[in-house]
Structure 1
Amino acid sequence: MNFDKKKLESELPSFFPALLDELYLHGHVPTLVGGAVRDFFLFGSPGKDWDVELSHETIAFNKDQWKQLGKDLGRFGKVTFLPYEIIRLEAEGFQLEFSPPRKEHFEEDKNHHSNFTAEFLFKLPFEEAVLRRDFTINAMGFRFKSKKEIEHLDPLEGLRHLREKVLHFAGPDFGKDPVRFLRAHRFAEKYHFQFSPELKNVLDHMKVEGFTPNYLWTEMQKSQNPMGFLVRMLREKEHHPNMRLPLDASVLPKLPDVKKVLSDPKRHEAWIIALEWTEIPFESWREYFSVGSDTARRLARWAQSSKTFQKVLPETFHGEFEEVRDTANFELLFDWYFTTKQLLQKNPDLPLMKMIEDYLPDWIHLYRFEAVKDVKHIDPPFRAKYQVWNLCQRL
């Protein structure tokens, strides 16, 4: 996990050399920052969603000059001006967001995501500019000093933390933004990172009652593992009595464009399982999921049964077949086993095996062992049950 300049250059879009010329013409020095740098070290590619910080050695930030820069960038693609002086450029499938370095001054008596005023400073040193970012792993940069000279900037040791799989806050104001509480748990769940002791202490003392439905659902969507994220949040709720998770139907009027938040139909089946697993009835959200009613009910039943088998171990079903087959829990196990098979047959990408491995590890081999095929000696009505019973004897 080292900086490979040639690899980075191979990932740059075709328009990038001309874009650098334009930025240099305006006197700017561009630095690729944030998630693109992190992902380059993690996955070998910066992706196509970039944050670029533009510094300037000789002039102060000027709105007119900045607006002119945005207009000039229009020759490369579609330009949009966003809040906090962000210029978004969409070109060749890439999305680049340019911004000046800034300091954020928080209002002490407020507790929400935008409780700060921004001060834009072209000459702000990188090691100061990154203090506003969330985590050290997102506080690295690739500075394009020239077309041939690219410098890896890492004043907060983000690369070391990335190697160690540790999340650590970038600056002293981390705890003033409640959304960062969600992001910390999203990153920990998504990348299997641990919190540094210092970050854990900050998270334990954060004011987290200010979550809006939009931010919570958006972070869950980004987590790619909604059940793991929800389980984390419910666990944290025990330590934060004032934390309210806006997940029931009462938040729908407050959630802007919920269909945009729940934008990936491929994940909707996993969402239903996640909601039911955490005892939030999916029926409240049913109209927002692109899943048929029969499949939705089967998913909900699977989640409810799975929770039962967190407490019921395979040893429960050890014994003579005739004694085990008619017990209530075995009937439930039989249904759970074949429901799993049916759901995976319909959608092989559904992460049921991963969920079982993570939350029901005692049961994972029920699905990894091959069912016995010689069942001719069993009465036909009981042959499928016998196969499941036989699997249990091997667990």
Structure 2
Amino acid sequence: MPNTALPGETPRPDPLDGTASSSSPSTAPAELTDAQKAAITGLFGSIDTIATELGDLFAAAGHELALVGGPVRDALLGREVHDLDLTTDAVPQTILKLIDGWADAVWTVGIDFGTVGLRKGGYQLEITTYRSESYQPKSRKPEVDYGSSLYEDLVRRDFTVNAMAVHLPGREFIDPFGGLSDLRERRLRTPGRPEDSFSDDPLRIMRAIRFAAQLGFTLAPEVKAAAADMADRLRIVSAERIRDELTKLMVSPDPRVGIEHMVDLGIASCVLPEIPKLRLEIDEHHRHKDVYEHSLTVLDQAIDLEKQRDMKPDLVLRLAALLHDVGKPKTRAFESGGRVTFHHHEVVGASMTKSRLSALRFSKDVVADVSRLVALHLRFHGYGKGEWTDSAVRRYARDAGHLLERLHVLTRADCTTRNRRKAAALSRAYDDIEHRIERLAEEEELNKIRPDLDGNEIQEILGIKPGPMIGKAYRYMLELRLEHGPMDKADAIAELRKWAEEQGEL
């Protein structure tokens, strides 16, 4: 989990104690305590030379320049700063002239939006002309207007904690909207009315949810209310931008918080409509309040298992944990005696997952992997007390392929029963199958299983030309390999000839 402790919450001096910065509409330097000044100075560290040189370049040309947004926020939170965002009154063409010969590399892919990217001394920087973005009611692309002052730029930013700046080269700290105080309170507010902020860029609704999960912030009441009222505006935002915010949310320290906000505020209906539909869908074991709560618990337990297994935050695994039961509402059936069933919900759920993630423009690999995990998540429940043959274990591992480790985690996480005896039995059973897979892998190189005869050998033995029959024979020999393990060459040839005779090929 990233270090989001403010300086005052460690033994070092607390720059957030003392007078808060002015919340009046002015970019005059805020009154800072000595500790706060030290924290601002600490923003720079290894970028001191870069910041000074760049600030001097712009000042000499009569232009303003300020470090702004995420880097300022993250430094005050004690989080590591990697990339630098700056803002200026200079237009993009002027920016290009000023950094010509100074930057190690320059790119202009964002120049239509007023942004020039560059690399200097191992750091990536983006310099953006003072601007505001807004969407027309039915537009999916923002309209960008250049501003003339830093205040105009800051007031149109998403949240107060991102509307703080440090002026260069003088290093004055600028906080016109009380962002420093909001950092201290772990509170998310907007510089102006949240309705105006969300109207300017509806994606900010998703960003608010993501910050809650990523940084542990609470949403101010007016922010919650505006997000709920304006959630439908997210439909004009491109799927790619929604996907990127959802990805950041899912790999955050506490994605459950974000998902709950999305559902409670009606945002999920525009992004992941399958999730709120899980509410009140009592599962077949009658052990959970509803499938929605069960799915969030599985997500939490998958994250715990990630940590236990020294895995990095895994987008594919977490999406699979969240979506593994999305097929239940469509497959719910009532049987005699009041029993509720969800037959084949894993098959239906895999199809639904594929459709939803594709609509959100996730990569083909992510779509395929998450859908496959959803399809496989019930496979283990036929294992019982270890009655599976070695061939069944081989198939389980082979079907999972490169997703085997994730399937292990997902299957274990899917056990949310409060019956300790049952939970212990399931855990022992999965310990057993994992051990058997490891043993078979050592003995047979399970992940490299091939038939005992390859395609060329099959063609030569049967005396047939390349064609569909070679593939059919290959698959038959693979099934024999999975069922019985390795065979010697003579037995494999005999089995192949016997099969070919039954097919009328000999």
TM (norm. structure 2) is 0.51
**1:154, 1:339 → 2: CA distance?**
58
Cross-structure match for 1:287: 365
Query: Mean Cα displacement is larger for which, 235-244 or 72-81?
Result: 235-244
The alignment partner of 2:270 has SS state of coil
Contact kept, 8 Å, 2:44 with 2:51, in 1: the verdict is: no
Q: Give CA-to-partner distance per residue, 1:326-355, whole Å, 9 cap, x none.
A: x6x543232456789999xxxxxxxxxxxx
Contact kept, 8 Å, 1:220 with 1:226, in 2: the verdict is: no
The alignment partner of 1:308 has SS state of coil
Instruction: Return closer, same or farther for 1:298/1:49 CA change in 2, 3 Å cut-off.
Output: closer
Deviation, structure 1 residue 202: 0.9
**1:209, 1:27 → 2: CA distance?**
42
Equivalent AA in structure 2 for residue 91 of structure 1: K
Deviation, structure 1 residue 68: 4.0
Equivalent AA in structure 1 for residue 132 of structure 2: K
**2:192, 2:436 → 1: CA distance?**
49
Instruction: Return closer, same or farther for 1:227/1:213 CA change in 2, 3 Å cut-off.
Output: farther
Cross-structure match for 1:156: 177
Q: Give CA-to-partner distance per residue, 1:365-391, whole Å, 9 cap, x none.
A: xxxxxxxxxxxxxxxxxxxxxxxxxxx
Match of 2:202 among 166, 169, 178: 178
Instruction: Return closer, same or farther for 1:272/1:170 CA change in 2, 3 Å cut-off.
Output: same
Cross-structure match for 2:85: 51
Cross-structure match for 2:427: 333
Note the residue ranges of structure 1 that are not aligned, 5 or more in a row: 56-60, 249-265, 318-323, 344-395
Q: Does 1:129 align with 2:153?
A: yes
The alignment partner of 2:42 has SS state of helix
**1:338, 1:138 → 2: CA distance?**
50
Contact kept, 8 Å, 1:302 with 1:339, in 2: the verdict is: no
Question: What does residue range 313-352 of structure 1 map to in structure 2 within 5 Å?
Answer: 313=418, 316-317=419-420, 330-335=424-429
**2:157, 2:408 → 1: CA distance?**
42
Match of 1:278 among 298, 323, 347: 323
Match of 2:104 among 64, 77, 95: 77
Identity over aligned pairs, percent: 22
Cross-structure match for 1:218: 244
Cross-structure match for 2:19: none
Deviation, structure 1 residue 196: 0.5
Query: Mean Cα displacement is larger for which, 238-247 or 186-195?
Result: 238-247
**1:153, 1:229 → 2: CA distance?**
32
Query: Mean Cα displacement is larger for which, 212-221 or 77-86?
Result: 212-221
**1:340, 1:29 → 2: CA distance?**
61
Deviation, structure 1 residue 150: 1.4
Query: Mean Cα displacement is larger for which, 158-167 or 332-341?
Result: 332-341
Equivalent AA in structure 2 for residue 271 of structure 1: V
Cross-structure match for 2:75: 40
Instruction: Return closer, same or farther for 1:168/1:339 CA change in 2, 3 Å cut-off.
Output: farther
Deviation, structure 1 residue 239: 4.8
Cross-structure match for 2:344: none
Contact kept, 8 Å, 1:231 with 1:278, in 2: the verdict is: no
Q: Does 1:8 align with 2:43?
A: yes
Instruction: Return closer, same or farther for 1:297/1:197 CA change in 2, 3 Å cut-off.
Output: same
Instruction: Return closer, same or farther for 1:300/1:214 CA change in 2, 3 Å cut-off.
Output: farther
Q: Give CA-to-partner distance per residue, 1:39-96, whole Å, 9 cap, x none.
A: 1101165x231111113xxxxx6x5xx4143033131221222222211111112111
Deviation, structure 1 residue 233: 3.5
Contact kept, 8 Å, 1:103 with 1:120, in 2: the verdict is: yes
TM (norm. structure 1) is 0.64
**2:255, 2:265 → 1: CA distance?**
16
**1:36, 1:278 → 2: CA distance?**
34
Match of 2:115 among 86, 93, 97: 86
Instruction: Return closer, same or farther for 1:41/1:78 CA change in 2, 3 Å cut-off.
Output: same
The alignment partner of 1:155 has SS state of coil
Deviation, structure 1 residue 99: 1.8
Q: Kindly name which structure, 1 or 2, has the bigger radius of gyration based on alpha carbons.
A: 2
Cross-structure match for 2:125: 96
The alignment partner of 2:100 has SS state of helix
Q: Give CA-to-partner distance per residue, 1:95-144, whole Å, 9 cap, x none.
A: 1111221233542x2264x34x322133x2x3332121111100000012
Contact kept, 8 Å, 1:230 with 1:278, in 2: the verdict is: no
Cross-structure match for 1:349: none
Instruction: Return closer, same or farther for 1:21/1:226 CA change in 2, 3 Å cut-off.
Output: closer
The alignment partner of 2:49 has SS state of coil
**2:314, 2:152 → 1: CA distance?**
44
Q: Does 1:189 align with 2:210?
A: no
Equivalent AA in structure 2 for residue 186 of structure 1: R
Contact kept, 8 Å, 1:213 with 1:246, in 2: the verdict is: no
Note the residue ranges of structure 2 that are not aligned, 5 or more in a row: 1-6, 8-14, 16-35, 276-310, 327-348, 355-362, 374-397, 438-506
Instruction: Return closer, same or farther for 1:341/1:10 CA change in 2, 3 Å cut-off.
Output: farther
